[in-house]
Amino acid sequence: MDKVRLGRTEIYINKNGFGALPIQRVSKEEAAVILRKAYDNGVRLFDTARAYTDSEEKLNYALSDVREHIYITTKTMAENADDFWKDLETSLKTLGTGYIDVYQFHNPPFCPKPGGKDGLYDAMLEAKRQGKIRHIGITNHRLLVAQEAIESGLYDTLQFPFSYLSSDNEKKLAEQCKEKDMGFLAMKALAGGLINKSALAYAFMNEYDHVLPIWGIQRESELDEFLSYQENPPKLEGETAAQIAKDAKAFQGEFCRGCGYCMPCPAGIEINNCARMSLLIRRAVSANFLNEETQEKMRKIEDCLECGQCRAKCPYGLDTPELLKKNYKDYQEVLEGKAI
Ligand code: SF4
Ligand code: SF4
Protein backbone atom coordinates (compact mmCIF):
# COMPACT_ATOMS: atom_id res chain seq x y z
CA MET A 1 0.00 0.00 0.00
CA ASP A 2 1.35 3.45 -0.93
CA LYS A 3 1.86 5.82 1.95
CA VAL A 4 2.14 9.57 2.37
CA ARG A 5 4.13 11.51 4.97
CA LEU A 6 2.40 14.86 5.47
CA GLY A 7 5.58 16.85 6.03
CA ARG A 8 6.45 17.94 9.54
CA THR A 9 3.08 16.88 10.94
CA GLU A 10 4.63 13.39 10.79
CA ILE A 11 1.20 12.10 9.85
CA TYR A 12 2.05 8.96 7.88
CA ILE A 13 -0.92 7.40 6.17
CA ASN A 14 -2.51 5.53 3.28
CA LYS A 15 -2.39 7.44 0.00
CA ASN A 16 -6.19 7.73 -0.17
CA GLY A 17 -7.60 10.69 1.76
CA PHE A 18 -11.37 10.97 2.18
CA GLY A 19 -12.93 14.28 1.09
CA ALA A 20 -16.14 14.54 3.12
CA LEU A 21 -17.84 17.35 1.19
CA PRO A 22 -20.03 15.08 -1.00
CA ILE A 23 -21.42 13.05 1.91
CA GLN A 24 -23.60 16.08 2.66
CA ARG A 25 -25.74 14.89 -0.27
CA VAL A 26 -26.52 11.41 1.09
CA SER A 27 -28.37 10.23 4.19
CA LYS A 28 -26.64 9.73 7.51
CA GLU A 29 -26.89 5.96 7.16
CA GLU A 30 -25.53 5.91 3.61
CA ALA A 31 -22.68 8.18 4.65
CA ALA A 32 -21.89 5.93 7.60
CA VAL A 33 -21.65 2.85 5.35
CA ILE A 34 -19.20 4.61 3.02
CA LEU A 35 -17.11 6.17 5.78
CA ARG A 36 -16.90 2.93 7.70
CA LYS A 37 -15.92 0.97 4.62
CA ALA A 38 -13.18 3.51 3.94
CA TYR A 39 -11.88 3.13 7.48
CA ASP A 40 -12.09 -0.67 7.41
CA ASN A 41 -10.00 -0.63 4.25
CA GLY A 42 -7.21 1.53 5.60
CA VAL A 43 -8.29 5.12 4.85
CA ARG A 44 -7.09 7.18 7.78
CA LEU A 45 -7.49 10.88 6.97
CA PHE A 46 -10.93 12.48 6.67
CA ASP A 47 -11.17 16.08 5.49
CA THR A 48 -14.24 18.14 6.26
CA ALA A 49 -15.19 21.76 6.98
CA ARG A 50 -17.50 23.77 9.20
CA ALA A 51 -19.05 24.99 5.96
CA TYR A 52 -19.99 21.48 4.78
CA THR A 53 -23.36 21.48 6.62
CA ASP A 54 -23.74 18.07 8.34
CA SER A 55 -20.49 16.50 7.14
CA GLU A 56 -18.77 16.80 10.55
CA GLU A 57 -21.82 15.31 12.24
CA LYS A 58 -21.78 12.33 9.87
CA LEU A 59 -18.08 11.74 10.53
CA ASN A 60 -18.82 11.68 14.25
CA TYR A 61 -21.72 9.27 13.73
CA ALA A 62 -19.66 6.85 11.64
CA LEU A 63 -16.24 6.99 13.22
CA SER A 64 -16.41 8.20 16.83
CA ASP A 65 -15.38 4.78 18.20
CA VAL A 66 -12.16 4.83 16.18
CA ARG A 67 -11.32 8.49 16.74
CA GLU A 68 -7.81 7.80 18.04
CA HIS A 69 -6.97 5.76 14.92
CA ILE A 70 -7.90 8.44 12.37
CA TYR A 71 -6.86 11.95 11.45
CA ILE A 72 -9.51 14.63 11.09
CA THR A 73 -8.80 17.83 9.18
CA THR A 74 -11.46 20.50 9.21
CA LYS A 75 -11.67 24.18 8.32
CA THR A 76 -12.96 27.55 9.42
CA MET A 77 -14.00 30.46 7.24
CA ALA A 78 -13.89 32.83 10.24
CA GLU A 79 -12.74 36.35 9.49
CA ASN A 80 -11.99 37.32 13.08
CA ALA A 81 -10.88 35.67 16.33
CA ASP A 82 -14.35 35.58 17.91
CA ASP A 83 -15.79 33.65 14.99
CA PHE A 84 -12.69 31.45 14.91
CA TRP A 85 -13.36 30.28 18.48
CA LYS A 86 -17.07 29.79 17.79
CA ASP A 87 -16.26 27.66 14.75
CA LEU A 88 -13.62 25.64 16.54
CA GLU A 89 -15.86 24.90 19.53
CA THR A 90 -18.72 23.95 17.20
CA SER A 91 -16.48 21.65 15.17
CA LEU A 92 -15.13 19.94 18.28
CA LYS A 93 -18.65 19.39 19.56
CA THR A 94 -20.09 18.30 16.23
CA LEU A 95 -17.21 15.95 15.55
CA GLY A 96 -17.41 14.62 19.11
CA THR A 97 -13.70 15.01 19.70
CA GLY A 98 -11.34 16.88 22.00
CA TYR A 99 -8.90 17.84 19.25
CA ILE A 100 -8.58 18.48 15.52
CA ASP A 101 -5.51 16.99 13.87
CA VAL A 102 -5.10 19.75 11.29
CA TYR A 103 -7.19 22.90 11.60
CA GLN A 104 -7.21 24.90 8.39
CA PHE A 105 -8.13 28.41 7.38
CA HIS A 106 -10.70 27.81 4.63
CA ASN A 107 -9.69 29.68 1.47
CA PRO A 108 -8.98 33.08 3.06
CA PRO A 109 -8.35 35.92 0.57
CA PHE A 110 -5.07 36.67 2.38
CA CYS A 111 -2.48 34.73 4.37
CA PRO A 112 -3.18 35.11 8.14
CA LYS A 113 -0.06 35.91 10.15
CA PRO A 114 0.85 36.49 13.81
CA GLY A 115 -0.07 39.96 15.03
CA GLY A 116 -2.63 40.45 12.21
CA LYS A 117 -5.55 42.78 12.98
CA ASP A 118 -7.92 39.89 12.29
CA GLY A 119 -6.35 37.94 15.17
CA LEU A 120 -6.80 34.69 13.24
CA TYR A 121 -3.29 33.27 13.34
CA ASP A 122 -2.84 34.19 17.00
CA ALA A 123 -6.09 32.35 17.73
CA MET A 124 -4.67 29.30 15.90
CA LEU A 125 -1.57 29.41 18.09
CA GLU A 126 -3.65 29.69 21.24
CA ALA A 127 -5.86 26.79 20.14
CA LYS A 128 -2.72 24.72 19.60
CA ARG A 129 -1.37 25.73 23.01
CA GLN A 130 -4.66 24.58 24.56
CA GLY A 131 -4.36 21.23 22.78
CA LYS A 132 -7.55 21.76 20.75
CA ILE A 133 -5.68 21.53 17.47
CA ARG A 134 -2.48 19.68 16.67
CA HIS A 135 -1.33 21.29 13.42
CA ILE A 136 -2.02 24.50 11.52
CA GLY A 137 -3.08 24.39 7.89
CA ILE A 138 -4.45 26.63 5.19
CA THR A 139 -6.53 25.90 2.10
CA ASN A 140 -6.66 28.12 -0.92
CA HIS A 141 -7.50 28.52 -4.57
CA ARG A 142 -5.23 31.52 -5.10
CA LEU A 143 -1.69 30.88 -6.20
CA LEU A 144 -0.33 34.05 -4.56
CA VAL A 145 -1.89 33.34 -1.15
CA ALA A 146 -0.63 29.75 -1.32
CA GLN A 147 2.88 30.90 -2.18
CA GLU A 148 2.86 33.40 0.67
CA ALA A 149 1.68 30.72 3.10
CA ILE A 150 4.52 28.41 2.06
CA GLU A 151 7.15 31.15 2.24
CA SER A 152 5.90 32.33 5.65
CA GLY A 153 6.90 29.05 7.30
CA LEU A 154 3.77 29.41 9.48
CA TYR A 155 1.81 26.46 8.12
CA ASP A 156 2.22 22.71 8.49
CA THR A 157 -0.01 21.90 5.53
CA LEU A 158 -1.37 23.49 2.40
CA GLN A 159 -4.54 22.30 0.70
CA PHE A 160 -4.79 23.40 -2.93
CA PRO A 161 -6.49 22.19 -6.15
CA PHE A 162 -3.98 19.81 -7.70
CA SER A 163 -4.17 17.33 -10.53
CA TYR A 164 -2.27 16.42 -13.66
CA LEU A 165 -4.14 19.26 -15.36
CA SER A 166 -2.58 21.81 -12.99
CA SER A 167 -0.34 24.49 -14.42
CA ASP A 168 3.43 24.37 -13.94
CA ASN A 169 3.17 27.08 -11.27
CA GLU A 170 0.62 25.03 -9.36
CA LYS A 171 2.80 21.93 -9.61
CA LYS A 172 5.67 24.02 -8.29
CA LEU A 173 3.65 24.65 -5.11
CA ALA A 174 3.83 20.95 -4.32
CA GLU A 175 7.62 21.01 -4.78
CA GLN A 176 7.94 24.09 -2.58
CA CYS A 177 5.90 22.40 0.16
CA LYS A 178 8.28 19.47 0.03
CA GLU A 179 11.27 21.79 0.42
CA LYS A 180 9.64 23.36 3.48
CA ASP A 181 8.64 19.98 4.89
CA MET A 182 4.95 20.84 4.63
CA GLY A 183 2.22 18.35 3.89
CA PHE A 184 0.20 18.95 0.74
CA LEU A 185 -3.48 17.99 0.59
CA ALA A 186 -4.64 17.84 -2.99
CA MET A 187 -8.25 18.89 -3.53
CA LYS A 188 -9.99 18.52 -6.88
CA ALA A 189 -7.64 15.72 -7.86
CA LEU A 190 -10.12 14.87 -10.64
CA ALA A 191 -10.12 18.53 -11.74
CA GLY A 192 -13.78 19.02 -10.84
CA GLY A 193 -14.92 16.14 -13.09
CA LEU A 194 -12.70 16.89 -16.09
CA ILE A 195 -10.49 13.89 -15.37
CA ASN A 196 -12.73 10.94 -16.01
CA LYS A 197 -10.30 8.10 -15.28
CA SER A 198 -9.41 7.98 -11.59
CA ALA A 199 -6.55 5.55 -12.23
CA LEU A 200 -4.75 8.27 -14.18
CA ALA A 201 -5.26 10.74 -11.33
CA TYR A 202 -3.94 8.21 -8.82
CA ALA A 203 -0.86 7.44 -10.93
CA PHE A 204 -0.03 11.14 -11.08
CA MET A 205 -0.45 11.57 -7.30
CA ASN A 206 1.78 8.60 -6.65
CA GLU A 207 4.74 10.56 -8.01
CA TYR A 208 4.58 12.78 -4.89
CA ASP A 209 5.28 11.13 -1.55
CA HIS A 210 4.15 14.17 0.51
CA VAL A 211 0.91 14.79 -1.43
CA LEU A 212 -2.34 13.33 -0.16
CA PRO A 213 -5.25 13.37 -2.60
CA ILE A 214 -8.52 14.14 -0.84
CA TRP A 215 -10.96 12.28 -3.06
CA GLY A 216 -14.47 13.69 -2.81
CA ILE A 217 -16.54 10.53 -2.31
CA GLN A 218 -20.33 10.24 -2.42
CA ARG A 219 -20.91 6.69 -3.67
CA GLU A 220 -19.59 3.34 -2.57
CA SER A 221 -18.59 2.56 -6.17
CA GLU A 222 -16.31 5.62 -6.21
CA LEU A 223 -14.71 4.50 -2.96
CA ASP A 224 -14.21 1.00 -4.37
CA GLU A 225 -12.26 2.41 -7.30
CA PHE A 226 -9.80 4.20 -5.06
CA LEU A 227 -9.48 1.28 -2.67
CA SER A 228 -8.63 -1.02 -5.57
CA TYR A 229 -5.55 1.11 -6.29
CA GLN A 230 -4.15 0.30 -2.86
CA GLU A 231 -3.45 -3.26 -3.97
CA ASN A 232 -2.66 -2.46 -7.58
CA PRO A 233 -1.40 1.13 -7.75
CA PRO A 234 -1.49 2.51 -11.29
CA LYS A 235 1.96 3.68 -12.38
CA LEU A 236 2.88 6.74 -14.37
CA GLU A 237 4.22 4.79 -17.33
CA GLY A 238 3.25 3.36 -20.70
CA GLU A 239 -0.33 3.96 -21.81
CA THR A 240 -1.19 5.77 -18.54
CA ALA A 241 1.60 8.31 -19.02
CA ALA A 242 0.66 8.78 -22.67
CA GLN A 243 -2.99 9.45 -21.80
CA ILE A 244 -2.03 11.96 -19.10
CA ALA A 245 0.28 13.79 -21.52
CA LYS A 246 -2.52 13.88 -24.09
CA ASP A 247 -5.03 15.28 -21.59
CA ALA A 248 -2.58 17.83 -20.23
CA LYS A 249 -1.96 19.07 -23.76
CA ALA A 250 -5.68 19.37 -24.43
CA PHE A 251 -6.14 21.47 -21.29
CA GLN A 252 -3.35 23.93 -21.86
CA GLY A 253 -4.46 27.47 -21.27
CA GLU A 254 -7.30 28.84 -19.25
CA PHE A 255 -10.29 26.81 -18.21
CA CYS A 256 -12.90 26.97 -15.50
CA ARG A 257 -12.13 24.57 -12.62
CA GLY A 258 -15.71 24.61 -11.36
CA CYS A 259 -14.69 25.81 -7.90
CA GLY A 260 -17.68 28.16 -7.54
CA TYR A 261 -15.76 30.91 -5.77
CA CYS A 262 -17.23 33.45 -8.20
CA MET A 263 -20.76 32.68 -7.00
CA PRO A 264 -23.49 33.58 -6.23
CA CYS A 265 -24.34 35.35 -9.47
CA PRO A 266 -26.98 38.10 -9.16
CA ALA A 267 -28.56 36.85 -12.40
CA GLY A 268 -28.80 33.32 -11.00
CA ILE A 269 -26.35 31.79 -13.49
CA GLU A 270 -24.80 28.51 -12.32
CA ILE A 271 -21.36 29.72 -13.33
CA ASN A 272 -19.32 26.80 -11.99
CA ASN A 273 -20.92 24.44 -14.51
CA CYS A 274 -21.97 26.79 -17.30
CA ALA A 275 -18.48 28.26 -17.71
CA ARG A 276 -17.02 24.83 -18.48
CA MET A 277 -19.92 23.27 -20.34
CA SER A 278 -17.87 22.87 -23.54
CA LEU A 279 -15.50 20.63 -21.61
CA LEU A 280 -18.20 18.75 -19.74
CA ILE A 281 -20.14 17.80 -22.86
CA ARG A 282 -16.98 16.42 -24.41
CA ARG A 283 -15.42 14.74 -21.37
CA ALA A 284 -18.45 13.22 -19.69
CA VAL A 285 -21.52 11.48 -21.12
CA SER A 286 -22.78 14.41 -23.18
CA ALA A 287 -26.42 13.29 -22.97
CA ASN A 288 -26.27 14.15 -19.26
CA PHE A 289 -25.72 17.78 -20.18
CA LEU A 290 -28.06 18.14 -23.14
CA ASN A 291 -31.24 17.65 -21.16
CA GLU A 292 -33.89 20.34 -20.73
CA GLU A 293 -32.73 21.22 -17.23
CA THR A 294 -29.19 22.02 -18.39
CA GLN A 295 -30.49 23.86 -21.46
CA GLU A 296 -32.51 26.07 -19.11
CA LYS A 297 -29.41 26.75 -17.00
CA MET A 298 -27.40 27.65 -20.08
CA ARG A 299 -30.13 30.00 -21.34
CA LYS A 300 -29.72 32.00 -18.14
CA ILE A 301 -26.40 33.23 -19.54
CA GLU A 302 -28.51 35.56 -21.69
CA ASP A 303 -29.54 37.32 -18.43
CA CYS A 304 -25.94 38.24 -17.52
CA LEU A 305 -25.88 41.76 -16.11
CA GLU A 306 -22.22 42.27 -17.02
CA CYS A 307 -21.64 43.30 -13.39
CA GLY A 308 -18.16 41.76 -13.45
CA GLN A 309 -18.44 40.30 -9.91
CA CYS A 310 -17.53 36.83 -11.11
CA ARG A 311 -14.46 38.06 -12.98
CA ALA A 312 -13.26 39.93 -9.89
CA LYS A 313 -13.72 36.87 -7.65
CA CYS A 314 -12.23 34.18 -9.89
CA PRO A 315 -8.94 33.06 -8.28
CA TYR A 316 -7.71 31.85 -11.68
CA GLY A 317 -7.98 35.30 -13.24
CA LEU A 318 -10.52 34.14 -15.84
CA ASP A 319 -12.64 36.55 -17.85
CA THR A 320 -15.70 34.70 -16.60
CA PRO A 321 -18.49 36.59 -18.45
CA GLU A 322 -16.60 36.10 -21.71
CA LEU A 323 -16.04 32.44 -20.95
CA LEU A 324 -19.76 32.00 -20.28
CA LYS A 325 -20.63 33.52 -23.63
CA LYS A 326 -18.16 31.26 -25.46
CA ASN A 327 -19.54 28.20 -23.70
CA TYR A 328 -23.11 29.22 -24.51
CA LYS A 329 -22.31 29.66 -28.20
CA ASP A 330 -20.55 26.30 -28.32
CA TYR A 331 -23.39 24.63 -26.42
CA GLN A 332 -25.97 25.95 -28.88
CA GLU A 333 -23.89 24.63 -31.78
CA VAL A 334 -23.73 21.21 -30.15
CA LEU A 335 -27.50 21.24 -29.65
CA GLU A 336 -28.01 22.17 -33.29
CA GLY A 337 -25.68 19.35 -34.30
CA LYS A 338 -23.06 21.64 -35.78
CA ALA A 339 -20.29 20.64 -33.41
CA ILE A 340 -18.98 18.10 -30.86
S1 SF4 B 1 -21.03 39.29 -14.84
FE2 SF4 B 1 -22.85 38.13 -15.36
S3 SF4 B 1 -22.28 36.03 -14.83
FE4 SF4 B 1 -20.83 37.35 -13.77
S5 SF4 B 1 -21.72 37.65 -11.72
FE6 SF4 B 1 -22.40 39.37 -13.03
S7 SF4 B 1 -24.38 38.71 -13.84
FE8 SF4 B 1 -23.36 36.86 -13.05
S1 SF4 C 1 -15.06 31.01 -13.26
FE2 SF4 C 1 -13.32 30.91 -11.84
S3 SF4 C 1 -14.21 31.11 -9.78
FE4 SF4 C 1 -15.89 30.66 -11.18
S5 SF4 C 1 -16.14 28.45 -11.05
FE6 SF4 C 1 -14.77 28.85 -12.78
S7 SF4 C 1 -12.70 28.75 -11.95
FE8 SF4 C 1 -14.09 28.92 -10.20
Q: Closest ligand 2 atom to the C-alpha of 258? A: 5
Q: Answer yes or no: is pLDDT of 91 > 70.
A: yes
Domain boundaries, the chain: 3-236, 271-335
pLDDT band at 171; cut points 50, 70, 90: very high
Gap from CA of 215 to ligand 1 centroid (Å): 30
Q: Is the CB of 335 under 6 A from ligand 1?
A: no
* Nearest-atom index, ligand 1, CA of 262: 5
Q: What is the pLDDT of residue 168?
A: 87
Fold of 3-236: TIM Barrel (3.20.20)
pTM (two decimals): 0.86
Residues with CB under 6 A from ligand 2: 256-262, 271-272, 275, 310, 314, 316, 318, 320
Q: What is the pLDDT of residue 338?
A: 67
Determine the atom of ligand 1 nearest the C-alpha atom of 301. 3
Q: So what's the pLDDT on residue 287?
A: 65
Burial 188-206 (b: 16+ CB within 10 A, else e): bbbbbbbbeebbbbbbbbb
Tell me, using a 6 A CB cutoff, whether residue 237 lines ligand 1.
Answer: no
Range with lowest mean pLDDT among 86-95, 107-116, 280-289: 280-289
**Mutational pocket test of ligand 1: of 262, 276, 300, 309, the residue with most ligand atoms within 8 Å of the beta carbon:** 309
User: pLDDT (tens digit, 9 = 90+) per residue, 103-140?
Assistant: 999 999 999 999 999 999 999 999 999 999 999 999 99
> With bands split at pLDDT 50, 70 and 90, how would you rate the model's confidence at 285?
low
CB 61, CB 46: distance < 8 Å: no
Q: Which amino acid is at 225?
A: E
Tell which residue, 86, 82, 70, has the closest CA to residue 119. Answer: 82
User: Average pLDDT of 305-318?
Assistant: 92
Give residues with Cβ within 8 angstroms of 314, minimum separation 6. Answer: 261, 262, 320
